[in-house]
Amino acid sequence: MKFIHLTDTHVVGGGQRLYGGDPASMLGRAVASINAEHGDAAFVAITGDLTHWGEAEAYAAFAAEIAKLTMPVHLLVGNHDVTEAFVQTFPDAPRDPNGFVQSTLDTEVGRCLFLDTHVPGTHEGAYCETRRNWLADELAKTSGPVFLFMHHPPFSVGLAGMDTIMLQEAETFYDVIAPHKDRIRHLFFGHLHRAVFGNWRGISFSCMRAVNHQVALTLDPSKTDVLGNRETPAYGVVLADADQVVVHMHDFTQVDTSYPLSAPKGEDKRAYALAFDPI
């Protein structure tokens, strides 16, 4: 099964720019790329920060772009979102009985759990007892494979400025998932605006670059300012089956720059490689 992991679209309303970019336009390019290159994907999961300021017109602009997707989309909220405005634009988006933007999706490769780590008024993430109880119940309903999706990572990654706004009280979150750890196939998250891959206590994870602006790789623990940069946007293409989970990061704005690595038939391989210049 193939699915797409897109994150941190940070759309603003009224065609405004954000850090020099046009988030709605870039989301449109991502949507066009997904439809054209991965139209066989089962779904797209967007792991939060759908808008930058959380205004109604930003959600409207976001909705207009994702409406063009040719496959189902599953939406999460992040620290830049405003749940009330999100719900007004997406009244049919699934939520848990307490109103949190949390839902489950059963697929041929396992149960996807879309979690809500948003708390109003802060960029930090939270996963309160109410949400933990919902997650515990959902995990208990199945004994099969599970895929977790959330906005905030429940661990630090060495980016001091971002680590301070990770999921707070992460150990209480871990306590809920720990009994099920062996069947959690992968954890997908956003928030970091960087490509980050690894393993947390035995759980593999990945984070994709954002759509409009990225976060610089600043690994000095004394540098707590979060710096942006102009690394290219990307989304994840996930291939999952009973044996493995493969995550490809796709720099979707770079597709037109591809060129053959093999020499044309009859030409000398070395001469071709030495002489070819894609620029």
Residue 233 CB, shortest distance to Fe ion, in Å, is 12
In the complex with Fe ion, which residue's Cβ is closer, 19 or 276? Answer: 19
Q: Which stretch binds Fe ion (CB under 5 A): 1-9, 61-69, 114-122, 154-162?
A: 1-9
Give the residue at shortest CB distance from Fe ion.
49
Name the segment binding Fe ion (CB under 5 A); options: 48-56, 89-97, 109-117, 195-203.
48-56
Nearest one of 97, 58, 64, 90 to 76, comparing CA atoms: 90
CB of 6 to Fe ion, least distance (A): 12
Stretch that binds Fe ion, among 44-52, 87-95, 111-119, 121-129 (CB under 5 A): 44-52
81 belongs to the binding site for Fe ion (CB under 5 A)? no
Count of residues touching Fe ion (by CB under 5 A): 2
Q: How far is the CB of 191 from Fe ion (least distance, A)?
A: 6
In angstroms, the CA 94 to CA 90 distance is 9
Residues 163-202 within binding reach of Fe ion (CB under 5 A): none
Of 109 and 215, nearer to Fe ion (C-beta) is 215
For helices 129-140 and 170-177, what crossing angle results, to 10°? Answer: 20
Answer for which of 27, 46, 47, 49 binds Fe ion (CB under 5 A) is 49
Contact stretch for Fe ion (CB under 5 A) within 26-34, 47-55, 56-64, 159-167? 47-55
Which window, 14-22, 43-51, 110-118, 120-128, contacts Fe ion (CB under 5 A)?
Answer: 43-51
Among 5, 8, 24, 116, binds Fe ion (CB under 5 A): 8
Minimum Å gap between C-beta 180 and Fe ion is: 28
In angstroms, the Cα distances linking 21 to 30, 63, 108, 196, 211 are: 14, 19, 38, 23, 10
Least distance from C-beta 64 to Fe ion, angstroms?
20
Which CB sits closer to Fe ion, 115 or 177?
Answer: 115
As to burial, measured by CB atoms within 10 angstroms (0-12 exposed, 13-18 middle, 19+ buried), residue 42 is middle
Residues at the interface with Fe ion (CB under 5 A): 8, 49
